[in-house]
Amino acid sequence: MPSDCIPFRDTNYFSTFICDYLEKKPELNEFYHRFPELDNFGAQIKEKGESFSNENRKVLVDVLQKQYKNTAVSDVTNDNIKLLANETTFTITTGHQLNLFTGPLYFLYKIVSTINLTTTLKEKYPKNDFVPIYWMATEDHDFDEINYFNLFGKKIQWNRDDGGAVGVFDTEGLDKVFDIFKTEIGTGRNAERLKSLFEKAYLEHNTLSDATRYLANALFESYGLVIVDANDQKLKRLFIPFMEKELLEQTSYQNVQPKANKLEKAGYKVQVNPREINLFYLAEGVRERIIEQDGDYVVNETNIRWSKNEILKELTEFPERFSPNVMMRPLYQEVILPNLCYIGGGGELAYWLELKDYFDAVAIPFPMLLLRNSVLMQTKKQTEKVNKLEVSDKDLFLKQHELINRKVRQISNIDINFDTQKKHLEEQFKEMYELAEQTDVTFVNAVKAQEIKQLKGLDMLEKRLLKAQRRKLSDQVKRLAEIQNQLFPNQSLQERNTNFSEMYLEYGENLIPTLIKYLNPLKGEFVIIKE
């Protein structure tokens, strides 16, 4: 099974910001600590090892063992949980929302990137152990972002009205989603395996958090993946000093906003702007922002209100009721995990790159930031069609009209390029300019206007000829558009739309081993896997 790679910049699907980061542009040096190269991990291991306490390790292991109490785990996952108690063990972490049935394909790519990096690090640093972590975004409250997945171009959706942190949502109503899914997925060995996965995850577990843990564990247990639900009282107790500092001193805002301003001044888009207080308050069915008003603290859209002393008492007694937002979640992660590197998508890395000064201010080592692997998967039939059309990997990523125009020019039996005629016309007008300069400026302007008019005319004729050839070659154009639409649904990356179940129908139990084989997170290029 062949695989190819192309630079992220050449795909035209990744921001200038992320491409500049991958290329280590000097103007971004101040926004990260160490670039994710294999030799740089030694210093990161030393720094994190010196700052991470054994007490935090003990709490982490105790919490994980409790969270896994009702989940059947592999020996390698169980061993990894125990290893976290050792001073020589470190984590590589990725995070993701609790998307229904994993959501888009890149859920798998994030975790495979994380697993493969731990394997590479163990080879390079054999005296240490490295554990792959999937951080479940159980405290997220944006249900509309996670309540569906796409299958064969159809949106399969779970509808309910609850608010608050999604991890505690019960799984009521997912039996109706399952009925739709099993009808759409069809029959066969791989289809039956998918039905069983969905049924056991969502119909045999009471909360979305438990269901997602089961599903991720079932897919990756043989690789030792450890799944963390950070919405836990004991873990949040470790974070109290940082949340207290946030309430009293607005630490994140004071340090992140200047960094965001620098990014904007450098010409980059700021992914997230910090709020003055970057904490939410959790209650039943509620996750709302904490706001300071006239010296008191209030929970937005509620009647909950505290004085300064009252909210500090609430934090000390009930830390589980406080929830970090997107600006503080990375710090929470690095406080409770012996983590070296965070692996995420372009949007995630963009907001992480705003945070370095914040980490420095609270004396927590800033992790290395690695872009997850991105993949285009082609089935055997799709590969055959692409080869028959003689389309390059790079051309596949073009916008469809550009791809078709390029192909029509390539296969046309006539030349659809008027560059020669344009050059000839420009040479003729040079002589006209020489004559014009001997008269007056008005004649020079008239010559210029005529040149522009005639060049535009040639452009128009070239476009009409191209359009005519597209009609003449409509069969090839149609087949080219069809295959690109299959590989880039909705003219977007496959990994951002397609659910893993479509690939599982094709690859079956070989899907994840195939990804494990071909994804190298440190290579820094877009991967194309062809069956």
pLDDT tens per residue, range 117-164: 999 999 999 999 999 999 999 999 999 999 999 999 999 999 998 789
* Range 85-101 average pLDDT: 98
Confidence of residue 1 (pLDDT cuts 50, 70, 90): low
* Range 78-100 average pLDDT: 98
- Confidence check: pLDDT of 445 > 80: no
- Note the pLDDT of residue 163: 82
Which has the closest alpha carbon to 376: 221, 483, 225?
A: 483
- Residue with more model confidence, 457 or 219: 219
Confidence of residue 79 (pLDDT cuts 50, 70, 90): very high
- Note the pLDDT of residue 473: 60
The chain-wide mean pLDDT, for the chain, equals: 92
Helix, coil or strand: residue 343: strand
* Range 20-42 average pLDDT: 97
- Confidence check: pLDDT of 284 > 50: yes
* Range 174-184 average pLDDT: 97
* Range 79-95 average pLDDT: 98
- Note the pLDDT of residue 209: 97
Contact call for residues 267 and 260 (beta carbons, < 8 A) = no
Confidence of residue 455 (pLDDT cuts 50, 70, 90): low
- Note the pLDDT of residue 434: 65
- Note the pLDDT of residue 156: 97
Helical axes 474-487 vs 380-389, angle rounded to 10°: 140
Domain ranges in the chain?
3-238+327-374+513-530, 391-493
Q: First CA to last CA across the chain, in angstroms?
A: 5
- 3-7 vs 525-530, strand pairing mode: antiparallel
Which has the closest alpha carbon to 105: 523, 521, 512, 522?
A: 512
- Confidence check: pLDDT of 414 > 50: no
DSSP state of 21: H
Amino acid identity for residue 415 in this structure: D
Instruction: Mention every residue, 6+ apart, whose C-beta is less than 8 A from residue 419.
Output: none
Contact call for residues 312 and 244 (beta carbons, < 8 A) = yes
- Portion of the chain with pLDDT greater than 70, in percent: 89
* Range 161-190 average pLDDT: 94
* Range 171-180 average pLDDT: 97
- Note the pLDDT of residue 441: 62
221-256 confidence digits (pLDDT tens)? 999 999 999 999 999 999 999 999 999 999 999 999
Query: What tokens does 146 get?
Result: 């996670």
- Note the pLDDT of residue 423: 72
- Note the pLDDT of residue 499: 98
Which has the closest alpha carbon to 210: 237, 182, 238, 231?
A: 231
Question: Please, what is the Cα angle at 396 between 394 and 399, to 5 degrees?
Answer: 105
- Portion of the chain with pLDDT greater than 90, in percent: 82
- Confidence check: pLDDT of 178 > 90: yes
Compute the distance between CA of residue 45 and CA of residue 88 in angstroms, rounded to an integer: 9
DSSP H/E element including 345: none
Q: Please state which of the ranges 43-52, 106-115, 405-414, 495-504 shows the lowest mean pLDDT.
A: 405-414
313-335 confidence digits (pLDDT tens)? 999 999 999 999 999 999 999 99
Confidence of residue 401 (pLDDT cuts 50, 70, 90): confident
- Note the pLDDT of residue 373: 98
- Note the pLDDT of residue 471: 62
The CA distances from residue 226 to 63, 115, 245, 300, in Å, are 12, 10, 30, 35
254-265 confidence digits (pLDDT tens)? 999 999 999 999
Helix, coil or strand: residue 227: strand
